[in-house]
Amino acid sequence: MKTLESLLSVLSVLITTPVFAGSPSIQFTYVPPVGSSAAVQGLVQNVDRTTYGVALIIDVFGGWWTKPYFATPISGINPDNTFSIPYNTGGQDGCADQFALFVVRLDYAIPLLSGQGSIPPEYYSNSIAQAATNRGAASTFTFAGRLWQKKDTGSCIWDPGQNYFSGDNISVDGNGKLHLAITSANNAWYCAEAILTQSLGYGIYRFYVDTDVSNLPDPIVLGLFTYSNDSDYNHREIDVEFSNGAVVGRPTHGRTSFSPGTRPVTDTSSRHRRT
């Protein structure tokens, strides 16, 4: 009888404790369009939903915010391993650029974010799976043998420079040359930004420009830059800028800046001098 009781106890543990064959994962299945109030939806795999939940944070104009509310920073997972989390719950959430998901324990005292410039490292160290997406760069195209994204912000104003962006302002002609335009629509000016989908890492970056950038009318700015959203390299960039306005500063029309850094380089011709 004692042996039977022990066997039943073991069987009970085996039946009630989930066993997963693969590694925990999480993915987006639906990201609402800009301005929408619909919920962010996704799917987790190989995750015990009785122990773990999903934390959603969004980037609004360079600041990260906990969603849906501070009182409920971790959302539950449905029996079919799906989840649905409201994101547009206040302020200018509808204009959020980036979304990040983390699978964390339901009892984890997750740090609440209210506009921080970067994601705390402990979000990664205390999660078993993560996913991120950039909502403003959904459409892709090929240029110079690589895949790029078109920034499209709809009715929202985003960085850099607090502008409207339209994917329609980006094209590649029959000679393989990339064209970036600024157009007017609905009483507003729409800019263009092309984002390389692949990180090329350390090395030499060269930009070949056909347009005479010394005659750009104020306040137009041409920016050629590297940038990373990786938590280890967040907000670090090398930026080559051309303008005849306040961004670069007269009488020069070009500069190179480093962020973070204290020694920008101003380019006034083919030579460089430190300022």
Consecutive 10-residue runs of the chain (275 residues): their mean pLDDT? 50 51 92 89 97 96 92 98 96 89 98 93 97 79 93 82 89 96 93 90 89 89 82 72 83 79 44 27
Same domain for 149 and 39? no
Vertex 66: Cα angle to 191 and 129 (nearest 5): 95
Cα distance between residue 271 and residue 264, in whole Å? 14
pLDDT of residue 107: 97
CATH of the domain at 41: 2.60.40
Q: Are residues 143 and 243 in the same domain?
A: yes
116 and 237 in a single domain? The answer is: no
Residue 169 and residue 201 in one domain: yes
Helix (H) or strand (E) holding 122: helix 121-125
pLDDT of residue 264: 47
> Is residue 10 assigned to a domain?
no
Residue 174 belongs to domain spanning: 139-274
Asked if 238 and 226 touch (Cβ cutoff 8 Å), the reply is yes
Last residue of a domain, one of 134, 161, 191: 134
Among the candidates 114, 134, 154, a domain finishes at: 134
Q: Are residues 120 and 172 in the same domain?
A: no
Are residue 23 and residue 92 in the same domain, yes or no? yes
Structure confidence at residue 273 (pLDDT): 27
User: How many independent structural domains does the chain possess?
Assistant: 2
Same domain, 158 and 268: yes
Domain termination residue (choose one: 113, 134, 155): 134
The whole-number pLDDT of residue 17 equals 52
Give every strand in the sheet of 129-134, ordered side by side.
114-116, 63-67, 52-60, 98-105, 129-134
Same domain, 188 and 220: yes
One domain for residues 40 and 25: yes
d(CA 260, CA 238): 9
On whether both 80 and 167 belong to a single domain, the answer is no
